[in-house]
Amino acid sequence: MPSVFTTRRNGASLAPYESLNLAQHVGDCAETVARNRELLSKITGPIQFMNQVHRDEVVEVKSIGDDPTCDALITREPGIALAVMVADCIPLLLSSSTVVGAVHVGRRGLMNSVAVKAVDAMRTLGADQIHAQLGPSICGRCYEVPQELADEVVAKHPAASSLTNNLTPALDLPRALIADLVAIGVTYEASTICTLENDEYFSYRRHNITGRNAGVVWL
């Protein structure tokens, strides 16, 4: 299925959101964000965004409307593109011949199995042979966390165990997500780009006040 992962370049936003910020909730000018979304839609067609809240709700999109509050969108409708916005979390795109999905997977999304729930929802709609694309996100060397938090996540997702270059506790969310996807029979490809290390991408950990990248998929 066609898909795209955006960088922060070639948009209209000014600092600190320069320049292809796609999020309306970060303090950028609403008209400018709308212009950026219009630029993207010229590639993808009409886009459904979502109000992401780090939970596990999956919403089926039948027509484009107001942004639903959820962290996963799925659709069977040709001509509707689904977007997930990130600035260090994993933009996960799911595709099959009849259903596609866009999923927001951060630490809390990994813990509440939002990706697995999105795959289940796609299969309920008849999806077969689902393929996952993991876009650029913060890597396991850069996602430093307190030891207690690392222990909590690794207890449920052993593949998340990681260390920074300074040998302090860290989490490798992409590796843990891949383990979840493989366990339920989903094939995958994963970007090796770290959003914190690469300034072509927005990174919340790097700048705190910043824009959002997007992953977009459509039938």
Q: How confident is the model at residue 1 (pLDDT cuts 50, 70, 90)?
A: confident
What is the chain's mean pLDDT, rounded? 98
| Model confidence pLDDT, tens digit, residues 62-92 | 999 999 999 999 999 999 999 999 999 999 9
In single-letter form, the type of residue at position 6 comes to: T
| Model confidence pLDDT, tens digit, residues 95-130 | 999 999 999 999 999 999 999 999 999 999 999 999
Tell me the C-alpha distance between 190 and 174, whole Å: 8
Name the burial class of residue 57, with classes exposed (0-12), middle (13-18) and buried (19+) by CB atoms within 10 angstroms of its CB: middle
CATH 3.60.140.10 given to domain 3-123+132-137+188-217: yes
Look-up: residue for tokens 């006040």? Answer: 209
| Model confidence pLDDT, tens digit, residues 129-149 | 999 999 999 999 999 999 999
Residue 150: the pLDDT is: 98
Q: Which residues contact 182 (CB under 8 A, 6 or more apart)?
A: 188
Q: How confident is the model at residue 159 (pLDDT cuts 50, 70, 90)?
A: very high
Domain ranges of the chain: 3-123+132-137+188-217
In single-letter form, the type of residue at position 49 comes to: F
Residue 82: CB atoms within 10 A of its CB come to 29
